[in-house]
Every structure is written in structure tokens, then in C-alpha cells.
Amino acid sequence: EVQLVESGGGLAQPGGSLRLSCAASAFTVSSNHMTWVRQAPGKGLEWVSVISSGGSTYYADSVKGRFTISRDNSKNMLYLQMNSLRAEDTAVYYCARGGCIATSCYVYFDYWGQGTLVTVSS
Amino acid sequence: DIQMTQSPSTLSASVGDRVTITCRASQSISSWLAWYQQKPGKAPKVLIYKASSLQSGVPSRFSGSGSGTEFTLTISSLQPDDFATYYCQQYNSYPLTFGGGTKVEV
């Protein structure tokens, strides 16, 4: 059964850093596009970043230059390095897997982790 | 950036009702649209992809339609488990964008 388990959330100070991890099982992270999506308390979903199966990376303007998405194929892990954190980065962060139909893969998301809460506050 | 606008933002309905949620894109996204259901404290769950394709395991009372800029999610007969918030998402181009959500409540 496909599973995604996030970790690494917690309290960070403004200007600080955190690294989120997402452990994948029952599939390989390099075979699908992978994403981070966040949800601020009481708000809607906001896309953060994608790493494609080919390794290309994409970012929302709100995090570009501050966040870095990566993966470790040997560990089957997805990461989000978050630097220069701001109060507005406070949210639950979800990792999710892009769907594939036959041999084509897309950036809608068919499996999601349970989320990890990041709080940025002094 | 492509803006996704959902309506209504809140919908009051009863068990057995037919429910329709609309999502409009600020420019054409062909059929590159997904619908998600989210319950409080839980991760989103995909219901529909490519505007009208039902995700495996999703009940057939859910259906999607539309192309270009206008899309709808329909629940043919609302069940108690369907009270939740629904989001559309375009994946035609980056940045990926979600609609603001529609809360279906009693």
C-alpha cells in the first residue's frame, strides 16, 4: 500500500530554517512527480513546490529562493529545505504523489501524507 | 498565473440532495483539472482527474464535467460522509493553483 509519512515540522523563529522529510513506501519517489502543498490554519490549499520524475524543480513565487525541494532515491525520501522562514509560512505541509495513467505522469495528486505542522514565531 | 475561482464558497444541503460546485479558470486549461475532498484535520483526497475521470475507489455518485474554463463537480445524491470541503486544482501549467474551496454543510 502506498504511504507517505512527513516529519520535521515544529517551531522555528522568523529567519530560521527547517527541513521537512517525507518517507515513501510501496513506490519509488523518482518514478512519479512529487509535491509539497501547504495549508495555513483555517485556510485553503496552497501549492509550494514540485520535483518532476526527471528531476526538474518548480516553486511558487512565495517560496522561490527560500525553499528547496529534493529527493534521495536511495532512501526513497522527499525533502523540503525551508530557509529564511516567515510568519506567513506557518502551515500544515503535505507531501503528495503525482498521478500516473499508463505511462504518462501528471501533477494532480493521488496519495497524500498526513501532514506536518510548521509554526514560525518568535 | 491561472486563477481558479470556486462557487459557492459555502453550500447548505441535505442528505439525498443533488449538489453542484463550479470552478472557473482565468484562462483555458483544457481538461487539466482535478477535484479533491478534504475533511477537518485530514489530508485531501482526489476524487476526479482530467476534469471527468473518476479516481479508482471513489463512489460513482461523484462526477465531473467541463473543459476550457468552466468545470463542475456534481454529487448526485449527497451522503452523510460527503459533508466536507471541496477544492479544484489546475495542472495545465505552473504555478499549480487551487480554488478557494467549497464547504458543503448541513
Q: Cβ distance B11 to B103 under 8 Å?
A: yes
- Contacts within 8 Å (CB) and 24+ apart, A59-67: A59/B95, A60/B95, A61/B95, A62/A88, A63/A89
Torsions phi, psi of B8, nearest 5? -75, 175
**Inter-chain CB proximity B44 and A60 less than 8 Å:** no
Contacts of B40 (CB under 8 A, 6+ apart): none
Angle formed at CA A108 by CA B106 and CA A54, multiple of 5 degrees:
160
Mean pLDDT, all residues of chain B:
97
Give B57 to chain A, closest Cα distance, Å. Answer: 11
**Which residues of chain B are within 8 Å of residue A59 when distances are taken between CB atoms?**
95
Contacts of A54 (CB under 8 A, 6+ apart): none
**Inter-chain CB proximity B98 and A109 less than 8 Å:** no
**Inter-chain CB proximity B98 and A35 less than 8 Å:** no
Give the tens place of pLDDT for each residue, A71-121.
999 999 999 999 999 999 999 999 999 999 888 999 999 999 999 999 999
**Omega within 30 of 0 (cis) for the link into B8:** yes
B86 touches chain A (CB under 8 A): no
Give B54 to chain A, closest Cα distance, Å. Answer: 12
Amino acid at A85: L
**Which residues of chain B are within 8 Å of residue A99 when distances are taken between CB atoms?**
46, 49
Q: Cβ distance A25 to A3 under 8 Å?
A: yes
Give the tens place of pLDDT for each residue, A34-83.
999 999 999 999 999 999 999 999 999 999 999 999 999 999 999 999 99
**Inter-chain CB proximity A106 and B91 less than 8 Å:** yes
**pLDDT score recorded for residue B106:** 84
Q: Cβ distance A66 to A83 under 8 Å?
A: yes
**pLDDT score recorded for residue A102:** 86
A52 touches chain B (CB under 8 A): no
